[in-house]
Structure 1
C-alpha cells in the first residue's frame, strides 16, 4: 500500500512539474483488444484533478494519435531541468464531453497554459467545436524505465532544414568598422 502511494505521489509531482510528456496511445478502446500502436509523441499538458489533461486534434493544436476514449496509453515524464526520464506510467484515456463540468474545469486550466493562441478568449469555444479534450488518468503503479535508448527514426514531415547561409553574410555581419576621426 505504501509503495502505491509513493508511486502515485511520484507520478503526480513529476507530471505537474514537467511541461511536456511523451505519450504513446494503444489505439485500442479496451485492454487487450487488438489495435495499431501509435508513435510516442511529445505533448504539452496540465495536471488537473489527479490526471494529465490534453487538448488537440484540431486546427492549430497538437495531434493526439492513438489516444481514443476508453483506451490505454503509456506516459513517460521527463525531468524539466535535465531532460532525462523520471517516471513512466500507464493511463486510461477519457475524452471529456464539451460543456460538461469536468470539461469546463480542465479547459480553464489548459487555457491558462496555452502559449501563442491566436484567438484568446474565443479559444474554449473553438476547442468545444473543433478539438478533443482528454484526461490521462494514472493506473496503479509505475512502469520500469528502460536501460537503453528509445531513439527512433523521425516521423515523415513536410518540414525542411535551413539551407546554408550565403557566403557574403558573415562578411557583412562581422566586418570591422573603420575608426572615426
Structure 2
C-alpha cells in the first residue's frame, strides 16, 4: 500500500535500509537512514545511525519544539547534555526534551568501534534549534505540513546579526 509516495507497512529490518554516508570536516561523519515514513508514521521520525570512532553525527544543539530519544544499540560514546557529559553504551536510552540551551545535546563516539543507535523524534511543522558551541540558531518551517518536506523555510544565523522588527519596512513619515 502506498500513501504520499511512501510504502506503508508495519515493519522493516534495519539490515535492509539504504544508508546514506556523509562526512563534514574531521569531526562529523555518519551513515544513516530515516525511515519513519516507510512505516507509515507521519508525526514521528526515526533514524538508524552508524557513527565511526572519534566522530559525531551533529553539532551540540537543542530543539525548542521537538522531543528526541536515542537508543544505543552497539558501541560506546559520550552523551553531552546541557553542561554535563555522560558515558554511554549499548542498551542506554537517552532523552533530549525540547527546551532551552540546558537541554542541548550531542552524541560523540568516544569508543573504538562503530556506534550504532536509533534516533526518534516528534516531527513539528515548525522548529527552532540553537547551537550553543557556535552561537547559531536555525529556523525550519515546512508549510506543506509534511515533516519530510525540506523545500520550505530553512535559515541558520547568529543572534548578533539580528535586525530590528521594522528594518527595511516602509513605515511612512510621521507628520
- Interval containing the TM-score (normalised by the shorter chain): under 0.3
Q: Higher Cα Rg: structure 1 or 2?
A: 1
Identify, as 1 or 2, the structure richer in helix. Answer: 1
With CA pairs under 8 Å and 6+ residues apart, which has the higher RCO, 1 or 2? 1
Normalising by structure 2, what TM-score? 0.25
Q: What TM-score results when the alignment is normalised by the length of structure 1? A: 0.24
